[in-house]
Amino acid sequence: MGSMVNAFKANGEKEQDRSNHCLPHSPRRNASALSIDHSPLPLSQAGGPYTDPDNGITFWGYTEPVHKVTYGFVFPPLAASGSPQSNEFIGEIVAPIATKWAGISPGGNMLQNLLLTAWPNGNSIVRSARFTTDYVLPTAMSGPVLTDLPSSKVNSTHWKWVYRCVNCQSWSTAAGTRSIPVDSFGVPAWAWSSVAVDSPSNPQSTFLEHNDFGFFGLDYSAAHVSQATYDNWKAGGTGGPPTTTTTTTTTTTTQPPVTATPYDYIVVGSGPGGLVTADRLSEAGKKVLLLERGGPSTWETGGRYSPAWANGHNLTKFDVPSLFESMFNDGNPFWWCKDVNVFAGCLTGGGTSINGALYFLPPYSDFAPTTGWPVSWGNHAPYTAKMKARLPSTDAPSTDGKRYLEQTFDVAAALLKGQGYSQITINDNPDYKDHAYGYSAYNFAKGKRNGPVGTYLKTALARPNFTFKNYVYVLNVVRKGAQITGVKTNDTSLGPDGIIPLTSKGRVVLSAGAFGSPRILFRSGIGPTDMINIVKNDAAASPNLPPQAEYINLPVGSYVSDNPSINLVFTHPSVDAYDNWAPIWTNPRPADSAQYLKSGAGVFSQGSPRLNFWRALSGSDGKTRWLQGTVRPGAASVTTSYPYNASQIFTITAYLSTGITSRGRIGIDAAMTARALVAPWFTDPIDKAVLIQGLNDIISNINSVPGLKLITPDNTVTMTNYVNNYDPGSLNSNHWVGSNSISKVVDENTKVFNTNNLFVVDASIIPQLPMSNPHATIMSVAEQGVARILALAGGP
Ligand code: 6FA
Ligand code: ABL
């Protein structure tokens, strides 16, 4: 692809690239997210004060451990209450020379934020303030005035940019004024690249998207010095004690000792796996504690992040189905996990509170012995039936029973019929997955997101033996050899050192997701040696590891899969691209929002997908692989040489699913960020060949549908080249499974091997990709998993 102007969002990439390469996250902005200030990030990611020996300036900042770049800030004194804050700060970026450019967003997210980027050019630093409202290359930001301070330099090992930034604490955006939270806690974001910018002498140079990014917690309220000290530093002066303006009074009152309540079961994570598990355990009368690192989501759970147009209607972003697409272009997406470098929901409901809500009952093949499930799991249907009874699906979610915005359904149905597909009601016939299509099925009810939060969590919360806590980050399990005695959290009000104990026969169930559960295991001394060594080298985490003789070596993080997926973008004159969903949060079509507010009906009661289809394909290795397709109005990116009508675009995403043979690996880096160490897509070239075949089949009869036009790829690119040149990170489908595969890391009762009382129930135990978007399969797995845990002797 080479360098290009629109480098943050390179041509041919699809939406998922945001998850891997841009900054999808940001700190909170509303009441529910405020409690993130309770530091849900592991301590190892929190910054603090340090003095730069070159200039004597005391900065508050952080050296991220992977690329070893330091980002620091220092502010003038906080204004007296009621007065406006000063609008400047001094900052620095100190980077090893391998850093070809680095960037910092003090506000903590890429969109709508002050972004400072810098790189070396010969012996000088070239830098700029930039801004963007979308995940594209940020461009010059008007307002900020940058002055380089004298200690900026480039030498053979490092470059350092020390700067004063004026008009930089607050800035205007189309959505109002944004500010750095100078009087409280913030989560700045950094971006890093090993690829040089296109024209290093030009501050406005284009450059390719960052290779890496991350976050750290910073107490901005502490990062202030006296005006005299600040004035000295901003004028290039050095040294001087940092006369802090905040005086801390040490209280001598002794707090009463914290007492901890023991539980029969501690479930970690309130995603689909954790909610089913916790509900069923509490239903059985056990004393259950469910811990969730994030905050509330839907209105019913206490979430209050609502669009202005729904004021007074008790509806949040997580309630209104059509707001799904706005998850990806919000300036303050506090719901993404900040220490997982792909999309993952860190809030009540986990992924099910932010996902597309496609809900497909698992076919028999999801649990067939050939897929890696133990034979004893073969009779799985009763568990799916239990789930279906609790959470029914609907493919006509509007409260008036009508379907809306169905043009893409009609066009895609015409195409598929020509290839011998039959229309079915998808969840009436879960095993019919070859040449079948139907209306997209969702977990919505009464015009709103429902999922496990609206069902399982609700019944659990009604029981006196069930306790749910938000904003509690589980760092590790506490264990003595094989016996788990409790969990260590970041919340010291819950027990001495944040440790919550188990009752004598108690058990812990990890449901922290395909990235979160492996990380907890590594931090508990369970996993491959290289991962435990990373924990050992982390000053904050290492003291919590058990003695080395008690490490449990298991392939945690291996055998990972996710669907490789490719977007095809089309136009058709009948299609309403629904403004590509862009205005739904701020400025929706008035008739549609009014209809929804009045009766829960209309376009707003559905997500974005309109049609799903499946077929089987055979590979040159004699194996069968299934392909799933999802059709939706709009598109994340269009690359075409054709003129086209943007109001008529729609996307078919093709996912390769059950049967894929590629596998990857999940692990942590030195910052304890969970990430794919080996990407799971196309490690077997036959997967790629089969997907290309499937894509070619999808468009094989395109000329039989009058007016239908494929615009991405266009006729200058063959399908094979389109797939070959697809950004690898963009193949991500957010359907990660397998990092604690059953029979490899957990036994057939979901118990972690070589432990007495530690279990995992979430996407991570699924040994092979399910047929469809996975959350229904995950919940149904949890139904069987928790039944087995309850049946297993020796428990509470
Ligand atoms: N799946 C579907 O079936 N249909 C869809 O339409 C669909 N769409 C999406 C989607 O649009 C996006 C953007 C994403 C990211 C995923 C989608 N998926 C879809 C996938 C589906 O949501 C996931 O496969 C599913 O949620 C995974 O379920 P798990 O139970 O395995 O894990 P989660 O990540 O949902 O939940 C883990 C929970 O643990 C979170 O709430 C997290 O905050 C919490 N947690 C993690 N670490 C923790 C810790 N250390 N301490 C306390 N809590 C922790
Ligand atoms: C899923 O299962 C996928 O994980 C999501 O990626 C997908 O949504 C939903 N279901 C709905 O089909 C897409 C959005 O439609 C895009 O707009 C978004 O950019 C993309 O997810 C991000 O991965």
- pLDDT tens-digit readout, 576-620: 999 999 999 999 999 999 999 999 999 999 999 999 999 999 999
CA of residue 378 relative to chain centroid, distance: 32
Nearest-atom number in ligand 2 for the CA of 15 is 19
Residue 33 has pLDDT above 80, yes or no: no
Q: Quick one: pLDDT at residue 121?
A: 93
Q: Quick one: pLDDT at residue 351?
A: 98
Q: Quick one: pLDDT at residue 26?
A: 34
Choose which residue among 355, 440, 562 to substitute to test ligand 1 binding: the one with the highest number of ligand atoms within 8 A of its C-beta. 355
Question: What are the distances in angstroms from CA 277 to CA 187, 460, 509, 706, 762?
Answer: 32, 10, 8, 50, 9
Q: Span 378-398, mean pLDDT? A: 97
Instruction: Say whether pTM exceeds 0.85.
Output: no
* Least confident piece of the model among 13-27, 452-466, 567-581, 649-663: 13-27
Complete domains list, the chain, with CATH: 41-234 (2.60.40.1210), 263-297+452-550+739-791 (3.50.50.60), 306-334+395-440+564-656+682-731 (3.30.410.10)
* Ligand approaching nearest to the C-alpha of 474: 1
Using a 10 angstrom Cβ sphere, with 0-12 exposed, 13-18 middle and 19 or more buried, the burial of residue 359 is buried
Q: Span 755-773, mean pLDDT? A: 98
* Alpha carbons 751 and 791: distance in angstroms, whole number: 12
> Which residue blocks in 491-589 are alpha helix, DSSP H?
513-523, 529-536
Ligand 2 contacts CB of residue 500 (under 6 A):
no
Please state whether the peptide bond connecting residue 452 to the residue before it is cis, i.e. omega within 30 degrees of 0.
Answer: no
Q: Span 242-247, mean pLDDT? A: 51
Q: Determine the distance separating the centroid of ligand 1 and the alpha carbon of 177, expressed in angstroms.
A: 32
Beta bridge partners of 287: none
Q: Which of 731, 765, 759, 760 is nearest to 507 (CA)?
A: 759
**368 token code pair:** 């067939």
Q: Quick one: pLDDT at residue 30?
A: 28
Nearest-atom number in ligand 1 for the CA of 291 is 52
**560 token code pair:** 């990972």
Q: Determine the distance separating the centroid of ligand 2 and the alpha carbon of 700, expressed in angstroms.
A: 25
* Alpha carbons 366 and 775: distance in angstroms, whole number: 12
pLDDT band at 36 (very low <50, low <70, confident <90, very high): very low
Q: Determine the distance separating the centroid of ligand 1 and the alpha carbon of 756, expressed in angstroms.
A: 27
* Ligand approaching nearest to the C-alpha of 517: 1
Q: Determine the distance separating the centroid of ligand 1 and the alpha carbon of 674, expressed in angstroms.
A: 14
* Alpha carbons 254 and 418: distance in angstroms, whole number: 77
Q: Which of 61, 60, 86 is nearest to 231 (CA)?
A: 86
Pairing of strands 153-154, 158-166: antiparallel
Q: Determine the distance separating the centroid of ligand 2 and the alpha carbon of 732, expressed in angstroms.
A: 10
Given a contact cutoff of 8 angstroms between Cβ atoms, the answer to whether 348 and 335 are in contact is no
Nearest CA to ligand 2 atom 16: 15
Q: Determine the distance separating the centroid of ligand 2 and the alpha carbon of 356, expressed in angstroms.
A: 6
Ligand 2 contacts CB of residue 356 (under 6 A):
yes
In the block, residue with structure tokens 């330091």: 70
Ligand 2 contacts CB of residue 606 (under 6 A):
no
Choose which residue among 561, 630, 681, 775 to substitute to test ligand 2 binding: the one with the highest number of ligand atoms within 8 A of its C-beta. 630
* Ligand approaching nearest to the C-alpha of 353: 1
Q: Quick one: pLDDT at residue 17?
A: 36
Ligand 2 contacts CB of residue 27 (under 6 A):
no
pLDDT band at 245 (very low <50, low <70, confident <90, very high): low
Ligand 2 contacts CB of residue 457 (under 6 A):
no
Q: Span 551-576, mean pLDDT? A: 98
Q: Determine the distance separating the centroid of ligand 2 and the alpha carbon of 670, expressed in angstroms.
A: 29
Q: Which of 89, 95, 96, 84 is nearest to 117 (CA)?
A: 95
pLDDT band at 31 (very low <50, low <70, confident <90, very high): very low
Model confidence pLDDT, tens digit, residues 732-745: 999 999 999 999 99
Nearest-atom number in ligand 1 for the CA of 350 is 41
Q: Is 576 left (phi over 0), alpha (psi -120 to 50) or beta?
A: beta
Catalytic position from the list 21, 25, 735, 775: 735
* Alpha carbons 546 and 276: distance in angstroms, whole number: 30
**100 token code pair:** 């070809």
* Alpha carbons 776 and 269: distance in angstroms, whole number: 17
CA of residue 185 relative to chain centroid, distance: 21
Q: Span 164-168, mean pLDDT? A: 94
Q: Which of 284, 279, 288 is nearest to 790 (CA)?
A: 284
Q: Span 687-691, mean pLDDT? A: 98
Express as a percent the part of the chain with pLDDT over 90: 83
Rg (CA), the chain: 26
Q: Quick one: pLDDT at residue 254?
A: 62
* Ligand approaching nearest to the C-alpha of 735: 1
Nearest-atom number in ligand 2 for the CA of 732 is 23
Nearest-atom number in ligand 1 for the CA of 775 is 3
Residue 410 one-letter amino acid: D
Q: Which of 405, 414, 358 is nearest to 698 (CA)?
A: 414
Q: Span 49-72, mean pLDDT? A: 92
Q: Which of 166, 218, 219 is nearest to 190 (CA)?
A: 218
Q: Quick one: pLDDT at residue 134?
A: 85
Given a contact cutoff of 8 angstroms between Cβ atoms, the answer to whether 610 and 440 are in contact is yes
pLDDT band at 331 (very low <50, low <70, confident <90, very high): confident
Crossing angle for the helix pair 775-791 and 381-390, to the nearest 10 degrees: 110
Q: Determine the distance separating the centroid of ligand 1 and the alpha carbon of 584, expressed in angstroms.
A: 24
In the block, residue with structure tokens 């075409």: 640
Nearest CA to ligand 1 atom 12: 355
pLDDT band at 247 (very low <50, low <70, confident <90, very high): very low
Given a contact cutoff of 8 angstroms between Cβ atoms, the answer to whether 98 and 137 are in contact is no
* Ligand approaching nearest to the C-alpha of 336: 1
Pairing of strands 288-291, 466-469: parallel
Nearest CA to ligand 1 atom 41: 350
* Alpha carbons 794 and 796: distance in angstroms, whole number: 7
Nearest CA to ligand 2 atom 7: 356
Residue 158 is a catalytic residue: no
Express as a percent the part of the chain with pLDDT over 70: 92
Q: List, in sequence order, every beta strand (DSSP E) within 354-403.
A: none
Q: Quick one: pLDDT at residue 290?
A: 98
Residue 725 has pLDDT above 50, yes or no: yes
Q: Quick one: pLDDT at residue 242?
A: 52
Q: Which of 745, 742, 795, 764 is nearest to 511 (CA)?
A: 764
Nearest-atom number in ligand 2 for the CA of 581 is 17
Residue 568 has pLDDT above 80, yes or no: yes
Nearest CA to ligand 2 atom 17: 325
Q: Quick one: pLDDT at residue 623?
A: 97
Residue 3 has pLDDT above 60, yes or no: no
Nearest-atom number in ligand 1 for the CA of 274 is 30
Question: What are the distances in angstroms from CA 360 to CA 173, 372, 429, 514, 660?
Answer: 40, 20, 10, 20, 19
Q: Provide the Cα torsion 367, 371, 373, 379; round to 10°.
A: 30
* Alpha carbons 689 and 80: distance in angstroms, whole number: 65
pLDDT band at 109 (very low <50, low <70, confident <90, very high): confident
* Alpha carbons 232 and 328: distance in angstroms, whole number: 43
302-310 own/partner pairs: CB under 8 Å, 24+ apart: 302/32, 302/470, 303/32, 303/347, 303/348, 304/30, 304/31, 304/32, 305/29, 305/30, 305/32, 305/33, 305/334, 307/585, 307/586, 307/588, 308/586, 309/587, 309/588, 309/593, 309/597, 310/593, 310/597
In the block, residue with structure tokens 């790189």: 119
Q: What does the DSSP assignment read for 81-132?
A: TTSPPP-EEEEEEEEETT-SEEEEETTSSSTTS-EEEEEEETTEEEEEEEE-
Q: Which residues of 333-343 are buried (b: 16+ CB within 10 A; e: fewer)?
A: bbbbbbbbbbb
| Three-class SS of 572-591 | CCCCCCHHHHCCCCCCCCHH
Q: Quick one: pLDDT at residue 241?
A: 59
Nearest-atom number in ligand 2 for the CA of 325 is 17
Q: Determine the distance separating the centroid of ligand 1 and the alpha carbon of 765, expressed in angstroms.
A: 14
* Ligand approaching nearest to the C-alpha of 769: 1
Q: CB-hemisphere CA count at 13 Å for 304?
A: 10
Nearest CA to ligand 1 atom 36: 271
* Least confident piece of the model among 252-266, 272-286, 333-347, 687-701: 252-266
Q: Determine the distance separating the centroid of ligand 2 and the alpha carbon of 441, expressed in angstroms.
A: 15
Please, which residues have CB within 8 angstroms of residue 471's CB and are 6 or more apart in sequence? 35, 36, 38, 40, 292, 293, 294, 295, 491
Q: List, in sequence order, every beta strand (DSSP E) within 337-451.
A: 422-423, 436-439
Three-state SS at 218 = strand
φ/ψ of 331, rounded to 5, equals -70, -20
- For the chain, what is the mean pLDDT? 91
**559 token code pair:** 């055998």
Nearest CA to ligand 1 atom 32: 513
* Alpha carbons 784 and 781: distance in angstroms, whole number: 5
Residue 491 has pLDDT above 70, yes or no: yes
Q: Determine the distance separating the centroid of ligand 1 and the alpha carbon of 687, expressed in angstroms.
A: 25
* Alpha carbons 735 and 738: distance in angstroms, whole number: 10
Q: Quick one: pLDDT at residue 8?
A: 25
Ligand 2 contacts CB of residue 398 (under 6 A):
no
Model confidence pLDDT, tens digit, residues 186-209: 999 999 999 999 999 999 999 998
Q: Provide the Cα torsion 430, 436, 438, 443; round to 10°.
A: 30
Q: Quick one: pLDDT at residue 44?
A: 56
Q: Determine the distance separating the centroid of ligand 2 and the alpha carbon of 688, expressed in angstroms.
A: 20
Ligand 2 contacts CB of residue 588 (under 6 A):
no
pLDDT band at 238 (very low <50, low <70, confident <90, very high): confident
Pocket around ligand 1 at a 6 A CB cut-off = 268-274, 291-294, 343-346, 350-352, 354-358, 473-474, 511-514, 516, 520, 734-735, 762-763, 773-776, 778
* Alpha carbons 255 and 156: distance in angstroms, whole number: 52
Q: Quick one: pLDDT at residue 22?
A: 37
Choose which residue among 9, 16, 614 to substitute to test ligand 2 binding: the one with the highest number of ligand atoms within 8 A of its C-beta. 16
Please, which residues have CB within 8 angstroms of residue 424's CB and are 6 or more apart in sequence? 432, 436, 437, 438
* Ligand approaching nearest to the C-alpha of 609: 2
* Alpha carbons 310 and 320: distance in angstroms, whole number: 10
Choose which residue among 409, 563, 733 to substitute to test ligand 2 binding: the one with the highest number of ligand atoms within 8 A of its C-beta. 733
**193 token code pair:** 């690249």
Nearest-atom number in ligand 1 for the CA of 273 is 30
Q: Quick one: pLDDT at residue 629?
A: 98
